[in-house]
Amino acid sequence: MAASPEPKALDYDAIIVGAGISGLYQLYRLRELGMRVRVLEAGTGVGGTWYWNRYPGARFDSESYSYGYSFSPELLEEWNWAEHFAPQPETLRYLNFVADKFDLRRDIQFKSRVAAAHYREETRSWDVTLEDGSRFSTRFLITAIGPLSAPTMPRIPGVESFKGQSCHTARWPHEPVSFEGKRVAVIGTGATGVQTIQEVAKTAGHLTVFQRTPNWCAPLHNGKIGEEEMREIRAGYPEMFKRCQETFACFLHTPDPRGTFEVTPEEREAFWEKLYGEKGFGIWQGNFRDILIDRKANALISDFVARKIRQRVKDQAVADKLIPKNHGFGTRRVPLETKYYEVYNQPNVTLVDINETPIERITPTGIKTGGIKTSGAEYEFDIIIYATGFDAITGSFDRIDIRGAGGLKLKDKWQGGPKTYLGVQVEGFPNMMMLMGPHTALGNIPRSIEYNVEWVTGLIRHMREHGLTCVEARPEGVKSWTDHVKALGVGLLSNEVDSWMTGINRNVDGKQVRTVARYSGSAPAYRERCDAVTASGYQELRLA
């Protein structure tokens, strides 16, 4: 019998899909292990979210210094943040600085959108195919594709027919877009829409906002960081990062241990006034411990924010439209804003509530609304901006033809909601690791990313040290983690509300039913669970 041919060497030890915050850091760590790594990135540059989301007004909602990487003292020493909540260009500069500093670019292949990834059982490897047909083989497939990176356009007839300029916020052009004197429409009022609206309103000839569901927004209170302040921030880095490790969602803010009804009405009001006047997510993440689980507590804080909206918007009929009626404060992601509500006091801004006058179609010249109560209207625009969000968490996976052992499609495996082991692995998909996949702690994302990357790196290091070539989640591990994630969501008011966090996207088939794709426990608890797996020598995983 003829000897079987030598197996062909794999092209890479690891392929990382995506050169955003997680992909860059994973590359850095795997290189330290001496691995041959390739990052495949669809864009023409690094940055992921901050590469794609160039829309006007895009900026952090987490404090810049709490968002940057913490792993390199040198990097912390060298980089100065200019604003408490950095605008997108500053963040993109930062991520380019990181890529240059650690010489990451030489292992990143740009303009390379991954179309398919198929597992090969014979070689315990993955075949990765790009949209242009080129193919690579790799031992490990690491997805760094982000929870909010598959943009969705609204399903409105006529979108293609518009003759003016139109764009989804996550596909914003690299060239500057001027709104000076233009008639502009924005559809969508999530965190992205709010940032876009407040920026476009500064210069647009006329801005018309099409709102389906108002959100509870709170002031960002951004400001510049002077040299002296940056020195103080730098001196406080060790303490600040330690704090981020201890808080519930890795933000600087963490719930107040008191319950809403454990204080007097006067103390409550004073506390909320203080939070409303402070920077960042404090009013959402640093509020009384029960506002997101106790209906009565939630109704009170919602009433507080509603009063603020009424105070800030002059026309009370408009204010009323801007106050959410179908969900309480904080049960969806709270958009942070800078004079957002005041925008509606400007003569060049109109709010259209599309529940009263639904959008019937996009026309070659603008938007046509109809209505049961009113006759609707025909609006003419030069520019239409779609701030209509993402097919969140699982959407970026669904857009790649990922097939595990036996040709099983990930999309089929996840029918009815994702099933994962620690949010990192999927049974039947050996050697595939997910960074910021479903069921991982998100929160202040880079903090979670650093942990996620380090955990995956530790697992791969362990495999290499023990001559192991295959790692796979066990069914019982997946069941137990998925059940745990589901149980954590019980009782949370946010799980009773439609949003990307509960897997709803009315613009995507099959995403009309709520699923549990998000881990809603604390980041410290998540890390504790993962650390225990490491300490046990990864016994919960099937290693071969």
Write down the least CB distance from residue 543 to ligand NAP, Å: 35
The nearer residue to ligand NAP, 68 or 188, going by C-beta atoms, is 188
Q: Does 384 bind ligand NAP (CB under 6 A)?
A: no
Q: Does 66 bind ligand NAP (CB under 6 A)?
A: no
Joined together, the tokens standing for residue 425 give 């692995």
Q: Does 500 bind ligand NAP (CB under 6 A)?
A: yes
Q: Which of 188, 280, 324, 428 binds ligand NAP (CB under 6 A)?
A: 188
Residues 24-63 touching ligand NAP, rule: CB under 6 A, are 59-61
The nearer residue to ligand NAP, 91 or 452, going by C-beta atoms, is 91
- Yes or no: say if 15 and 136 are a contact pair by the CB < 8 Å rule: yes
Write down the least CB distance from residue 31 to ligand NAP, Å: 29
Largest CA distance in the chain: 89
Give the single-character DSSP code of 274.
Answer: H
DSSP reduced 3-state for 305: helix
Q: Does 389 bind ligand NAP (CB under 6 A)?
A: yes
CA dist., res. 411 & res. 476, Å (int):
20
The nearer residue to ligand NAP, 187 or 319, going by C-beta atoms, is 187
Q: Does 287 bind ligand NAP (CB under 6 A)?
A: no
CA dist., res. 538 & res. 544, Å (int):
12
Q: Which of 123, 276, 507, 525 binds ligand NAP (CB under 6 A)?
A: 507
- Residue 444 CA from chain centroid, whole number: 10
Q: Which of 17, 95, 128, 191 binds ligand NAP (CB under 6 A)?
A: 191
Please list, residue by residue across 154-165, b when 16 or more beta carbons sit within 10 angstroms of its beta carbon and e when fewer do: bebeeeeebebe
Write down the least CB distance from residue 528 to ligand NAP, Å: 25
The nearer residue to ligand NAP, 389 or 395, going by C-beta atoms, is 389
Q: Does 357 bind ligand NAP (CB under 6 A)?
A: no
- Yes or no: say if 350 and 206 are a contact pair by the CB < 8 Å rule: yes
Write down the least CB distance from residue 303 to ligand NAP, Å: 21
Q: Which of 387, 435, 493, 516 binds ligand NAP (CB under 6 A)?
A: 387
Please list, residue by residue across 183-192, b when 16 or more beta carbons sit within 10 angstroms of its beta carbon and e when fewer do: bbbbbbbbbb
Q: Which of 86, 128, 148, 207 binds ligand NAP (CB under 6 A)?
A: 148
- With 0-12 / 13-18 / 19 or more C-beta atoms within 10 angstroms meaning exposed / middle / buried, residue 265 is exposed
Write down the least CB distance from residue 309 to ligand NAP, Å: 16
Q: Which of 24, 187, 362, 424 binds ligand NAP (CB under 6 A)?
A: 187
Q: Does 250 bind ligand NAP (CB under 6 A)?
A: no
Here the contacts of 110-114 (C-beta below 8 Å, separation 24 or greater) are 110/19, 110/41, 110/43, 110/44, 110/45, 111/41, 111/42, 111/43, 111/44, 112/40, 112/41, 112/42, 113/40, 113/42, 114/17, 114/40, 114/42, 114/400
Write down the least CB distance from residue 319 to ligand NAP, Å: 18
The nearer residue to ligand NAP, 140 or 251, going by C-beta atoms, is 251
Number of helices (H), then strands (E), belonging to the chain: the values are 18, 20
Site string (199-218) toward ligand NAP, x via CB under 6 A: -------------xx-----
Q: Which of 453, 353, 437 is nearest to 393 (CA)?
A: 437
- What is the number of the residue whose Cβ is closest to ligand NAP? 190
Candidate ranges 190-198, 248-256, 308-316, 478-486; the one touching ligand NAP (CB under 6 A): 190-198
Q: Does 20 bind ligand NAP (CB under 6 A)?
A: no
Q: How many other CB atoms sit within 10 Å of the CB of residue 174?
A: 8
Write down the least CB distance from residue 88 to ligand NAP, Å: 9
The nearer residue to ligand NAP, 354 or 488, going by C-beta atoms, is 354
- Yes or no: say if 397 and 409 are a contact pair by the CB < 8 Å rule: no
The nearer residue to ligand NAP, 60 or 179, going by C-beta atoms, is 60
Candidate ranges 35-43, 148-156, 157-165, 223-231; the one touching ligand NAP (CB under 6 A): 148-156
What residue has token string 């993962």? 530
How many residues bind ligand NAP (CB under 6 A)? The answer is 25
Joined together, the tokens standing for residue 310 give 């009424």
Site string (290-329) toward ligand NAP, x via CB under 6 A: ----------------------------------------
Angle (CA) 171 173 176, round 5°: 140
DSSP reduced 3-state for 358: coil
The nearer residue to ligand NAP, 30 or 148, going by C-beta atoms, is 148
Residues present in the chain in total: 544
Chain contacts with ligand NAP (rule: CB under 6 A): 59-61, 148, 154-156, 187-193, 195, 212-213, 333, 354, 387-390, 500, 507
